[in-house]
Amino acid sequence: MNRMRALIYYISLLICFTYVDSKIDVDELKCLVCEASIKELEGVLKSVDPSKKIDVGGYHLDKEGNYRSSKTISIAESETYLSEVMDTICDKMENYVRATSKSNGTLTLLNLLDSAGNMNFQMSEVDIIQDDDLNKSLPFY
């Protein structure tokens, strides 16, 4: 159902896009994508139940021949979980578009959907930048 809602929003946005003639600074865009990715990552990590724990470290011999036991940490801090989450962050970047602020003209990235899956209320505050690939290149930055 969320995919259908997102598709409807994308189609409506295609109809309503404002075309902006401007050169985009690729380095600035990369920084914006990085910032958005970190915000997405922080959002996912905040939603993890702090009581979920995982054993890490394994049982290895130290240089004296004694076993080093594993330790228990929050799942949100484990390398495995962070790796899995990072794989999903790029998928979330497909909901973002390039835009310029109507108030000052600065380049920004806008998530089309809010956390509830509704259209972002900030849509009226920006001009969407239409590009040749329909903003599908953002996950690759």
Domain residue ranges in the chain: 2-49+76-140
Average pLDDT over residues 84-109: 89
C-alpha distances out from residue 6 to 57, 106, 109, 124, 141, Å = 41, 26, 17, 18, 22
Q: Is the pLDDT of residue 18 over 50?
A: no
Which token pair is 114?
A: 């809010």
For tokens 């578009």, name the residue: 97
Structure tokens that stand for 14 in this block: 């295609």
Average pLDDT over residues 14-34: 68
| 3-state SS class at 121 | helix
Q: How far apart are CA 118 and CA 8, in angstroms?
A: 11
Kindly report, residue by residue over 27-65, the tens digit of the pLDDT.
898 899 999 999 999 988 898 898 988 877 766 777 787
- Give CA–CA dist 110/32, Å, rounded: 10
Nearest to 73 by CA among 41, 95, 102, 48: 48
Helix or strand holding residue 137 (H, E): none
Distance in angstroms (rounded) separating the CA atoms of residues 90 and 141: 9
Distance CA 102, CA 14 (A): 19
